[in-house]
A and B are shown apart, each in its own frame.
Chain A
Amino acid sequence: MTNQRFLLICLLPLLIFSLAFLALPLMRLFLASVEGASGWAVYLEIIQKPRYLSALMQTVLVSLAVTATALVISTTAGLFLARNRFAGRGVLLSILTLPLAFPGVVVGFLIILLGGRQGLVNQLTPGHVVFAYSTFGLFLGYLYFSIPRVLLTVMAATEKLDRELEEAARSLGASPFTVVRDVILPGLGPSLVAAGAIAFATAMGAFGTAFTLATNIDVLPMVIYTEFTLSANIAMASALSIVLGLVTWALLLIARSLSGTTVAAGG
């Protein structure tokens, strides 16, 4: 057996599997989107019909808010944990990365425990404070699974930063704040963009959390789900899936080219 032929045999299972279960299904999905009653115009409908457009806008807005908040929190915590050694650091780090493996449904449930009808906040505060089923609850849920993802990207990047630059800035009389603003943040720049793109893409595609929380919030994955299961509008569900998939894929491609990290966009 020649070496080239052996390598081809090695690759064969992968080729067959991804042809049968990735390439062909995706092609089918695309065809299904344009085979509906409105043909190619289905993509035009997404921006013409208020229901889809508002869902799209709402998804983008929530995702942007989550991205910004997660970046602020995780960069602060990540820099702190990467630059300081103290007792209990490992515990904090574990807590902050634990939700990585939580499916979106579990995150949704945790938010219900926090802000639902029988939630902690409602029990501790006078009056009726329920926010789990609102856009704010969705925001908190997305934030819950975004914090670990951003934190890990930031910490990995911080460890690669040249500490001598910080020393130099400090010895030149820069205050800690100036060091962060003028040395650390610019150094982290590409990784922050990457982490932001990961958080944004994850939030855009998150289904489980919205599924548990949102009875009446129209985010894109929920719209796709209801179009497919309740309205049986296969063409629109397929078209929305393709648009959503293209957006998240492009974002993660940018993220990877900037930082080289791979994080699953589950949730």
Chain B
Amino acid sequence: MRFSIIKVLQLAITLLACAFLLVPAIQSVLAGLTVNYFKGVSSGLTLKWLWKVWELYADSVFLSIWLALSCLVCTIIIGVPAAYALAKNPGWISRILEEFISLPLAVPGLALALALLQLYGTMQGFRTSWSFILVGHVLYTLPFMVRSVLAVLAAIDLKTLEEGAATLGAGSLRRFCDVVVPNAMPGILAGALTVVTLSIGEFNLTWMLHTPYLKTLPVGLADSYASMRLEIASAYTLIFFVMIVPLLTAMQWASNRAQRISA
């Protein structure tokens, strides 16, 4: 039957694609836990590479978490009120502004980093501090927060809700805090998880902005790929996977939830 042949072919391609994505990831996990990767898993399993990585690169893990959380705070402070203002004034100016702040999604991180370096590279105190990397991360993740909140705000009947609150005597700030923010929560949550996930995995900008004393997790990974033995590089990658996979799963769950609300 032709029907089943097509289905089998489709399934085969799907499985092949899965294998292509999964096999090297499993290899990496195994390599990080094997005593000697060249001899294979038969040489025994060990946690010593993970310990070694922790000794060498623990700082990079903490710096990445710290950056991701700071980035989250910044994107919330900048992004949530801005999304509200944009939702209240849906005109061409808002569209252009939204388009403009979304540039970092489209323009490669390398180009943005060069731009930042050339303008601020000579300010020594700023250039060598962690806040320089933070600026890059906020730049890159901010559009996700704004768009995520904006999508939810555009879907609910903001006008009626606010009018209701206004009739009861609530001022602008009160309405923002008590009406807008709670209603935008699914969007803020989805945006927040996206921001943290992307910040922890960001490499292209960070590689150009970092200094030898400030290595984030992905920068440390690149360093270990270039200079460490395969087992250590793999164990380090394993630590990254353990951090990023739950975040990604939570991010997808929250985004789907926010999308159902705004649909």
Contact = CB atoms under 8 A, between A and B. Distances in A.
A22 B103 contact: yes
A207 interface: yes
Nearest to B14: A77
B82 interface: yes
Interface string B8-23: 0111011111101111
B85 A113 contact: no
A28 B13 CA distance: 47
Summarize A's interface: helix, strand, loop or mixed: helix
B119 interface: yes
B108 A248 contact: yes
B213 interface: no
B65 interface: no
B41 to A, nearest CB: 12
A54 interface: no
Interface stretch (A2-10, A39-47, A161-169, A187-195): A2-10
Interface stretch (B42-50, B51-59, B199-207): B199-207
B129 interface: no
A70 to B, nearest CB: 10
Interface residues of B, number: 90
B66 interface: no
A103 B172 contact: no
Contacts of B115: 25-26, 28-29, 241
B63 interface: no
B233 interface: yes
Given A98-B248, A234-B118, A6 B17 contact: no
Given A28-B118, A109-B225, 17 more contacts: A25-B119, A28-B119, A29-B111, A80-B11, A106-B218, A110-B24, A113-B234, A205-B107, A208-B203, A208-B204, A224-B111, A241-B108, A248-B107, A249-B107, A262-B143, A262-B144, A267-B204
28 contacts: A6-B176, A17-B142, A22-B104, A22-B139, A29-B111, A80-B11, A84-B7, A96-B18, A97-B252, A101-B197, A103-B202, A103-B203, A103-B204, A104-B203, A105-B222, A105-B225, A106-B201, A110-B25, A113-B234, A147-B21, A176-B6, A207-B110, A211-B207, A238-B114, A252-B106, A262-B105, A265-B105, A267-B204
Interface of A: 1-3, 6-11, 13-14, 17-18, 21-26, 28-29, 32, 73-74, 76-77, 79-81, 84, 92, 94-106, 108-114, 118, 120, 140, 143-144, 147-148, 175-177, 180, 201, 204-208, 211-212, 221, 224-225, 228, 234, 237-238, 241-242, 244-245, 248-249, 251-253, 262-267
